[in-house]
Chain A
Amino acid sequence: MTEQRNPGMSSIPQTAPRRNDVYVNMKTDFRAQLARCQKLLEGGGHREICVHGLGLAINRAINIALQLQASSQGALQLAANTSTVELVDDLEPEDPDEAGEPMTRTRNNSAIHIKVFYPDPQ
């Protein structure tokens, strides 16, 4: 029985991803992902972006958010939310001739969603 896992951010429900959503993963270069966020906030004209991270990528998502905040000299604020994401692993027999039944296994993983935004002037 082999396990087929697709370790991609595609497993987070990218519910109608907006332009200002950033799904952080561990495959892309960190600086590239940070630069993408900076571009959205500075060049893209977005007042807020949402940085998502799942599992191991939580750390990187937090890092990106904190870096953005630090390089904005206090202009940016963070609002973090956490959630649980249910994942499904599909298991299938290694040998196709084998009389094994394909099966699935569900498990939970933690996720974080960080809103990085310029607070409204009051």
Chain B
Amino acid sequence: MLPLNHTDTPPVSICEAAPVPYVSLWGTEQTSQRHHRSPLPVPPPALKLGQEGFKKVCRTEEDSPCPFPGLASGVLEMRVKEGSKIRNLMGFAMARMQGEKGVSGGGVTDGGLRQVVFTGSGRAVTKTITCAEIMKRKVGSLHQLTKLQYKVVKEVWESTEGGTSEMTVHRTVPSISILLSKDPLDPQEPGYQPPETLSALWEEKEGVESASQKTCKRPLGPLPYSSFTHCKRMCLGEGVSVLPPQ
């Protein structure tokens, strides 16, 4: 593709960036998670050789600064993990955001919480985004602020060959934090998304007309099933032309 010489290696050494050799499964969120779950995540290739015969005994995420300075304490933080079930996460978070009727003793107002933060790292990033997207669709009129950062994860590996040798590995994994708020947020902040930009994201860059024309041109031919190469195509849902660009 690109005329690259491999000498200009970027500083990928530690991060999980080094492509893990799994096949791209374009399944739904849950199936792909199920496929990838394994007791031992594949260590980065750089470390792979030294880790034969080692077992991971402990994994701790080191505290990183909160990506949302000035956030009121006590905001509901949903920590999404690789094995978390979306229905469990959403069941809990939706109940808190909509407010439990009858249970509200006094601390929580009737309308439920005003803000929620979804965080996840590594392979849980996709699930984190999916949760935020589901909540945006269900609750509606939510302001969103998305932040990306590296998170340092400390892993302790122990030799399986009887010895007592231990190895501590510090890895950096990408993590995402998504703040969803019923109250307005600062639109100047990088990563801010106003409410109801469900699919209008694409129009704000180019005009609406050119957007719909360009996408219609592609695979919607008269014989939709004859082509083997364009079998998955974009669905031009309601979002493309209904919402005015904001």
Q: How far is the CA of A26 from the CA of B133 in the complex (A)?
A: 22
State whether A85 and B137 are in contact (beta carbons under 8 Å apart), knowing that A35-B8, A62-B125, A71-B10 are contacts in the complex. no
- Chain B residue numbers with a CB within 8 Å of A8 are 232
Q: Does B147 lie at the interface of the complex (its beta carbon under 8 Å from any beta carbon of A)?
A: yes
- Residue contact A82 to B146, C-beta cutoff 8 Å: yes
User: Interface residue count for B (Cβ, 8 Å)?
Assistant: 65
Q: Using A13-B202, A55-B32 as known contacts, say yes or no to A66 and B133 having CB atoms under 8 A apart.
A: no
Residues of A within 8 A of B1 (CB): 28, 32
Most buried by B among A5, A58, A71, A110: A110
User: Which of B191, B198, B206, B237: most chain A CB closer than 10 A?
Assistant: B191
Query: Complex formed: what's the CA distance from A35 to B176 in Å?
Result: 23
Q: CA of A113 to CA of B200 in the docked complex: distance in angstroms?
A: 13
Is the CB–CB distance between A65 and B148 below 8 Å? yes
Q: How large is the interface on A (under 10, 10 to 19, 20 to 34, 35 or more residues)?
A: 35 or more
**Beta-carbon contact of B129 and A112 below 8 Å:** yes
A49 sits at the interface (CB 8 A): no
- Is A29 part of the binding interface, using a Cβ–Cβ cutoff of 8 Å? yes
Q: A26-B24, A34-B10 are in contact. Are A110 and B233 (CB under 8 A)?
A: no
Is the pair B205, A7 in contact by a Cβ cutoff of 8 Å? no
B residues whose Cβ falls under 8 Å from a Cβ of A: 1-2, 4, 6, 8-12, 15-19, 24-26, 28-29, 32, 122-123, 125-126, 129-130, 132-133, 137, 144, 146-150, 174, 176, 178, 190-193, 197-199, 201-203, 205-206, 210-211, 214-215, 224-225, 228-235, 237
For this complex, 19 residue pairs linking A to B, each with C-beta atoms less than 8 Å apart, are A8-B232, A11-B233, A13-B211, A16-B206, A18-B205, A30-B18, A31-B6, A34-B17, A55-B26, A58-B125, A60-B19, A62-B125, A64-B17, A67-B11, A82-B193, A83-B198, A85-B234, A90-B225, A114-B148
